[in-house]
Structure 1
């Protein structure tokens, strides 16, 4: 399920060495899943108090937090925050990884349910460094949840407007963090260190095999790494966004090819591109001809403001800048 790419619009020189340099920092991601995800967009203000394990409030490791940053998020099944950007230019994504091991619940550790992990990160942190430090220092444990009738086994990608990046996997119940601007691409199975080795087989990435064209995770990972490293530098943000969309589309799975046995290579349902520098969040549904975007600078994230929703699932004909088209949510989430 999914591919994620980090790229800087003026970073072509250092991208060739494995990391972004300067310019507008963009993150593109695809959402691949075996069924329609009924995804909506939400605007969430500062000052909201949330629980880490709302399904089990008596969990001794349940903790609360108050959102310090406003954010725009994509809610899978209208509930689970799986992707988003906050007003500080910090971005977080949850991607499927069947190998993830959250472990049996250890109530001596702070626990956070999978549906709320991305929102917690967006609410609380403005940089990758701060998020990684808090996540690891507190030894936070992810609590598994079912997503669309399937086990919700995810790993996490983080990025910020400085071009910093982190990939967080979970083995034996513990977080395994790879932190650094060189970690620009993430996909699904196998483990991340194996993905980095597998890509070296291909021309342009260290090997002599032709670049693969399939939809399996290592194939998508290799294409994303290859093409994002070869994007030309540009100071034109429309052009930069088009570059990022072109690469994330290339790493997508054709619509209608869902594999119900292996959701990690299912059809692409939607894509996002987040401009972390200018605070702009693009969303593209496979079943809609239109790209929509949200300008975070035009939103009021003040404490006390209502949460806002845009139903891009059942109202697919939105187009362009939809910042003013959000409406108050009927109930808090």
Structure 2
């Protein structure tokens, strides 16, 4: 399944790359969401109440199946990535009487709308709990995911629901009065440990697996790297961690994305004739340049990388257009083509069009 890697070659430089691995093409589309949009959680309490908010920040996102946000970057340089975690188990009800449910389909968008850094994202979940439902391509299967969040300082967190309770893994300090009555479980790791995540097993088990491989590399440090060779999730986590640690420091901005792309490609799953629920082909790559607010996207069905500069979007065009956003018209495979049906590369801001926002999937 999927892989996410954070690369911070310099101070005030941070990049996030991810592979979206899925058994079928999820029909990804790129959207640019404006600020000051009123949204609701797409799930209601037993009394019929629904959590609502207004977006503080603009964002560029990837939608899948036309019903959810799986990846994105906001105008504060905060990046989000939703990855599969089959061991997730969501709560049957609120963790306290004033908590509100939220559909997983809009979870990532809520964080982008509301938060400018990782610490704010942790606190944003104080009174929220996530609910899930079936996925469009397989009505017999529940969507079970964990969410990663990274800010432009290279800080990161992972949200996971384990046995019905939210677990938060992060490198940021959450001590202090603000978190004194925080209802969720928080575990702290170093910034280096938080750079890579894949799918199963749960994140702290992924981190724990590094003890063996780190000892092995220390024992044979003068020889070639000894790494797991399978395409299973934990093997990809170990390999991506090893190669991300080899990325050069002080890489110039023009090379940093290329360096990160090499690690992401190493963890990708090419299309093969042998696939199952645990080994699905990579459908697309996305990359966030968090300092320059550039968002890059490459479909596995096309040869080129395209990108949107979030700082160069004129949101005045959306005045008096409630419920509308900018989108890039990708084909059914997630490839951008010009009027002659030729795939193109490069900055695509000029091709953004105004369209009605897709509907986030509600909890029935």
**Which protein has the larger Cα radius of gyration, Structure 1 or Structure 2?**
2
Offset at residue 77 of structure 1 (A): 0.9
Q: More displaced, 268-277 or 293-302? A: 293-302
Q: Structure 1: how far apart are the matches of 2:49 and 2:271?
A: 41
Kindly tell me: are residues 220 and 68 of structure 1, through their superposed partners in 2, closer, same or farther at Cα, counting changes over 3 Å? same
Q: Which residue is 2:184 aligned to?
A: none
Q: Which residue is 2:188 aligned to?
A: none
Match of 1:121 among 111, 123, 128: 111
Q: Which residue is 1:269 aligned to?
A: 283
Unaligned 5+ runs, structure 1: 11-21
Q: Structure 2: how far apart are the matches of 1:257 and 1:207?
A: 38
Q: Structure 2: how far apart are the matches of 1:58 and 1:313?
A: 40
Q: Is the 8 A contact 1:40 1:309 kept in 2?
A: yes
Offset at residue 331 of structure 1 (A): 5.0
SS in 2 for 1:158: strand
Kindly tell me: are residues 178 and 207 of structure 1, through their superposed partners in 2, closer, same or farther at Cα, counting changes over 3 Å? farther
Q: Which residue is 1:96 aligned to?
A: 84
Q: Is the 8 A contact 1:308 1:329 kept in 2?
A: yes
Q: Which residue is 2:161 aligned to?
A: 170
SS in 2 for 1:202: helix
Offset at residue 79 of structure 1 (A): 2.0
RMSD: 2.1
Q: Structure 2: how far apart are the matches of 1:255 and 1:277?
A: 33
Q: Which residue is 2:180 aligned to?
A: none
Q: Is the 8 A contact 1:199 1:218 kept in 2?
A: no
Match of 2:349 among 303, 306, 323: 323
Kindly tell me: are residues 299 and 57 of structure 1, through their superposed partners in 2, closer, same or farther at Cα, counting changes over 3 Å? farther
Once the two structures are superposed, what CA deviation does each residue of 1:33-54 show, in whole Å capped at 9, x if it has no partner?
Answer: 1111100000100111111025
Q: Which residue is 2:15 aligned to?
A: 26
Offset at residue 259 of structure 1 (A): 2.8
Offset at residue 104 of structure 1 (A): 1.7
SS in 2 for 1:163: coil
Q: Structure 1: how far apart are the matches of 2:29 and 2:329?
A: 5
Q: Structure 2: how far apart are the matches of 1:210 and 1:75?
A: 37
Q: Structure 2: how far apart are the matches of 1:146 and 1:157?
A: 21
Kindly tell me: are residues 156 and 61 of structure 1, through their superposed partners in 2, closer, same or farther at Cα, counting changes over 3 Å? farther
Say whether residues 1:311 and 2:329 are aligned partners: yes
Count how many residue pairs are aligned between Structure 1 and Structure 2. 317
Q: Is the 8 A contact 2:58 2:113 kept in 1?
A: yes
Offset at residue 214 of structure 1 (A): 1.8
Equivalent residues in 2 for 1:62-81 (5 A)?
62-81=50-69
Say whether residues 1:153 and 2:179 are aligned partners: no
Kindly tell me: are residues 46 and 194 of structure 1, through their superposed partners in 2, closer, same or farther at Cα, counting changes over 3 Å? same
Equivalent residues in 2 for 1:128-147 (5 A)?
128-135=118-125, 137-138=126-127, 140-147=128-135
Once the two structures are superposed, what CA deviation does each residue of 1:193-252 show, in whole Å capped at 9, x if it has no partner?
Answer: 111122333267667682122210011101110011111123421210000111011011
Q: Is the 8 A contact 1:141 1:173 kept in 2?
A: no
Unaligned 5+ runs, structure 2: 172-190, 337-342, 360-364
Q: Which residue is 1:39 aligned to?
A: 28
Q: Structure 1: how far apart are the matches of 2:81 and 2:22?
A: 15
SS in 1 for 2:209: helix
Once the two structures are superposed, what CA deviation does each residue of 1:251-290 show, in whole Å capped at 9, x if it has no partner?
Answer: 1111235634x2x421110011101111110101111000
Q: Which residue is 1:14 aligned to?
A: none
Kindly tell me: are residues 282 and 331 of structure 1, through their superposed partners in 2, closer, same or farther at Cα, counting changes over 3 Å? closer
Q: Structure 1: how far apart are the matches of 2:92 and 2:292?
A: 41
Offset at residue 332 of structure 1 (A): 5.3
Q: Which residue is 2:7 aligned to?
A: 7
